[in-house]
Amino acid sequence: MKQLAPDNVILGLLAVQPCHGYQLLDYFHDPNALGRVWMMSTSQLYAVLKRLEQQGLVNGQEVQAIDAPTRTEYRLTESGRDSLNNWLSNQHPSASIRRVRVEFLSRLYIARLLGHPTVALVQYQKTACQVQREILLAQCAEAQAGVGLLASEFMLAQMDAVLQWIDRCE
């Protein structure tokens, strides 16, 4: 499974408007934005921006400011926009609890910020979680009494909670 990275989230923020690193960092520190979804340090953010620039997804350009030092302002490239659109329209998201908490919430946040409809996005996530719930239900039915059954029941309870929560996202 691919590691969770904020790459597409940053692309989404840059789709709203070009920004320098500290402006982007504000989104990741604001508890009403992405602050409760991602833990992002300055060095992590700049490492991601460097990677995105090397991949041709963003362009950095130095901008002079009257009352501040020169900063690099990042803009989305056409390739970056394509990557962002693919991420926003993913019809088969992961049903992993961690990915729902981080990736789905990020996708929902960015889609809303960009004024994109979110009904399909939420439905794709709900469907993925419903499929995973059926798998967990089957595992519970097959498990023998003991820690394996307890673990399966715990994961099933988590998925039930996620599905109830997703209904609130609609």
- Structural domain boundaries in the chain: 1-88, 93-170
Give the model's pLDDT for residue 70: 84
pLDDT digits (tens, 9 = 90+) for 58-88: 999 998 878 878 889 999 999 999 999 999 9
CA pair distance 129, 125, nearest whole angstrom: 6
pLDDT band at 143 (very low <50, low <70, confident <90, very high): confident
Taking 60 as the threshold, does the pLDDT of residue 169 lie above it?
yes
Q: What is the CATH number of domain 1-88?
A: 1.10.10.10
Q: Give the distance, in angstroms, between the CA of residue 83 and the centroid of all CA atoms in the same chain.
A: 13
- Average pLDDT across the chain, whole number: 93
The gap from C-alpha 27 to its chain's centroid, in whole angstroms, comes to 13
Give the containing element (helix H, strand E) for 28: helix 21-29
**Contact in structure between 13 and 24 (CB atoms under 8 Å):** yes
pLDDT at 1 over 80: no
